[in-house]
Amino acid sequence: MAGVIIRRIGGSLSARRYMLGALPLRQRLACESQCQLARRSAPLHSSAVLERLVSFHLSDIGEGIREVTVKEWYVKVGDVVEQFDNLCEVQSDKASVTITSRYDGKIAKLHHDVDSIALVGKPLLDFEVEDDDENDSSSSSSDDESESPKDVMSAMTLPGQLTPGKVLATPAVRRIAMEHKVDLGKVRASGRNGRVLKGDVLEYLQLIPQGTVKPHPTLEKPSRPAAAVAASASKISPAFVDLKDAHTVVPLKGIAKAMVKSMTEALKIPHFAYCDEIDVTKLVSVRNQLKEEAARRGVKLTYMPFFLKAASAALREFPILNSSYDESAESVIYKAYHNISVAMQTPNGLVVPNVKNVEQKSILQIAADMNALQDRGTRSALTPDDFANGTFALSNIGIIGGTYTHPVVISPQVAIGGLGKTRVLPRFDAAGNVTAAHIMVVSWTADHRIIDGVTMASFSNLWKQYLENPNMLLLAV
């Protein structure tokens, strides 16, 4: 049996459930209703027993990131959310990450505004959640879900359970539906993205009055058409601004802020530069022969996969260019894997993810990996792993139109190549005749503390040999 204990504490009433045995849901809800009525009899009292405040901390995103910029909040104070609902999107110096909820509860406080800096390990927002003595008083954005897999499996395999289909609901809600043999497909959903909430099931069972649970804002129709809002906004005349005093202060954030730090550190390294030109006429012909077959396999084949594969083949002969320098230990760390970083433009700015294990992949596999990186970059969906453990870098400035460049070494890497625009220029062939040739200029930059000019020039000559005779890539190990 069960009952409700009503106690007066300091002139106010508090109510608390206690269970002397396992009871059906209807009786448990009756007890909860009595508790709520007891609380209402003392309107100035807020029971810390039935609900509590939980701080939701920003978890470690990885790659040594200690701070992020809040790009967008998907919730506001007072919103009711469920587990796995999106809370906000944050931007590190490398990628965007969507933070999801661990709790069912109400948003009590947002600790940061949009475009402000949030620190890893510090509170991101506060929840009001139902009290549970077994839960901790704070959580992290990477904590495990509140129900163990064992509990979920037991809820899924208990006798008499109805198949819920593809209805969105938490295991706790499914358990209630199973106990009362309720088909969740027949319950009106009021949660985000059509999720069935506990209150929806209780309304369906007529245990609480209809209309108690309010639909999520995304399910409600806007009270005013968007076209009308846009039309009224267009009628508002812009305010007059005195151009003599007008100026805008834009704080650096995200990728721009990270570039200040990384470039400041990089320019402490003594750079050595070396340039050469490559006749890629044969490579142009080979690529034209292969691009249609690659497209048939769903891969866009550009020149960059050839450049990466040739670099990987040359790095086998000059492994010091695929190393990093440990300044504190005064030692060189040689890397067995070739994770070649590639600079690419995205809506958030220039980023440098890397293609993993180029030495183990074919040109078509490298092209597929680059297509995937470019797609994620366009959607601002690159992850910290896409940037991790780069060992060498190539930057194709030629797609913008430049010919010569002086790229900056990305620490802790020790070398980078800048590729210029390929131009059709007159050149002498083997017979001394003037012919049209496709010429590309490459500009190498290296950490002069451990890379000397002979090493860089020798590497460049071998890389050039592979590109001027692309069939040699078939012989590369």
Query: So where are the chain's domains?
Result: 52-129, 169-219, 268-474
Average pLDDT for 28-45: 48
Residues 6+ apart with CB under 8 A from 340: 308, 311, 312, 354, 355, 358, 390, 391, 392, 393, 394
CATH of 169-219, picked from 4.10.320.10, 3.90.180.10, 1.20.120.530, 3.30.930.10, is 4.10.320.10
Q: Is the pLDDT of residue 104 over 50?
A: yes
Q: Which two tokens stand for residue 391?
A: 């060992």
The vertex-384 CA angle with 382 and 389, nearest 5°, equals 120
pLDDT at 94 > cutoff 50: yes
| 22: pLDDT strictly greater than 60 | no
Torsion angle of C-alpha atoms 470, 473, 475, 477, degrees rounded to 10? 170
Any residues with CB less than 8 A from the CB of 141 and at least 6 apart, and which?
56, 57, 58, 59, 87, 99, 100, 102, 124
In angstroms, the CA 353 to CA 50 distance is 48
Report H helices in 192-237: 198-204, 226-234
- Report yes or no: 392 and 444 within 8 Å, Cβ to Cβ: no
Band (pLDDT 50/70/90 cuts) for residue 391 is very high
Residue 35: pLDDT over 80: no
The two tokens of residue 244 are: 């003599």
CA dist 286 and 471 (Å) reads: 9
Q: What band does 37 get if pLDDT is binned at 50, 70 and 90?
A: very low
- The answer to whether the peptide bond before residue 171 is cis (omega within 30 degrees of 0) is no
Q: Is residue 280's pLDDT more than 60? A: yes
| Placement of tokens 């996969």 in the chain | 305
The Cα–Cα gap between 221 and 198 comes to 23
Whether 60 and 122 have beta carbons less than 8 Å apart is answered as no
Q: What CATH superfamily classification does 268-474 receive?
A: Chloramphenicol acetyltransferase-like domain (3.30.559.10)
Owner of token pair 């209807």: 26
Distance CA 128, CA 78 (A): 9
Adjacent-strand bridge partners of 37: none
Q: Is the C-alpha dihedral spanning 53, 59, 65, 69 positive or negative?
A: negative
| Predicted pLDDT of residue 249 | 80
CB-CB contact of 312 with 341 (8 Å): no
Catalytic residues: 448, 452
Rounded mean pLDDT of the chain? 78
State the Cα–Cα distance between residues 427 and 430, nearest whole angstrom. 10
At 17, the pLDDT band (50, 70, 90 cuts) reads very low
C-alpha 417/C-alpha 457 separation (Å) is 12
Contact indicator for 254, 349 with CB cutoff of 8 Å: yes
Name the DSSP class of 50: T
Q: What pLDDT, on the 0 to 100 scale, is given for residue 284?
A: 95
Contact 437, 270 (CB under 8 A): no
Q: What is the pLDDT of residue 447?
A: 95
pLDDT of residue 64: 65
Query: Could you report the per-residue pLDDT of 338-372, keeping only the tens digit for each?
Result: 999 999 888 878 889 999 999 999 999 999 999 99
- Predicted local distance difference test score (pLDDT) of residue 265: 85
470, 286 contact by CB (below 8 A): yes
Question: With contact defined as beta carbons under 8 Å apart, do 174 and 155 qualify?
Answer: yes
What tens digit of pLDDT does each residue of 209-257 get?
777 776 765 565 555 555 555 555 555 555 555 665 667 788 877 777 7
Question: Rounded CA gap, 17 and 350, in Å?
Answer: 57
> What dotted CATH number matches 52-129?
2.40.50.100
Taking the C-alpha atoms of residue 95 and residue 88, their distance in angstroms, rounded to an integer, is 14
Asked if residues 411 and 373 have their Cβ atoms less than 8 Å apart, the reply is no
pLDDT at 84: 77
Q: Coil, strand or helix: which one is 188?
A: coil
Which pLDDT belongs to residue 50? 45
Across 49-161, the runs of DSSP E, i.e. the strands, are 51-57, 67-73, 80-81, 86-91, 96-100, 105-110, 117-119, 123-130, 138-140
Coil, helix or strand at residue 270: coil
- Span 160-218, pLDDT tens digits: 333 345 688 877 788 888 888 888 888 888 877 778 888 888 888 887 777 777 676 55
Query: Distance (Å, rounded) from C-alpha 408 to C-alpha 267?
Result: 8
Give me 97's structure tokens: 């990450």
Alpha-carbon distance 93 to 410, whole Å? 14
pLDDT, position 155 = 37
pLDDT value at residue 233: 52
For residue 64 the two structure tokens come to: 């040594």
Whole-number pLDDT of residue 228: 55
Question: Which pLDDT tens digit goes with each residue over 428-464?
Answer: 988 899 999 999 999 999 999 999 999 999 999 999 9
Chain Cα centroid distance, residue 175 = 33
How far apart (Å, rounded) are the C-alpha atoms in residues 79 and 85? 11
Q: Using CA atoms, how far apart are residues 104 and 82, in angstroms rounded to an integer? A: 4
| Pairing verdict, β 51-57 and 415-419 | unpaired
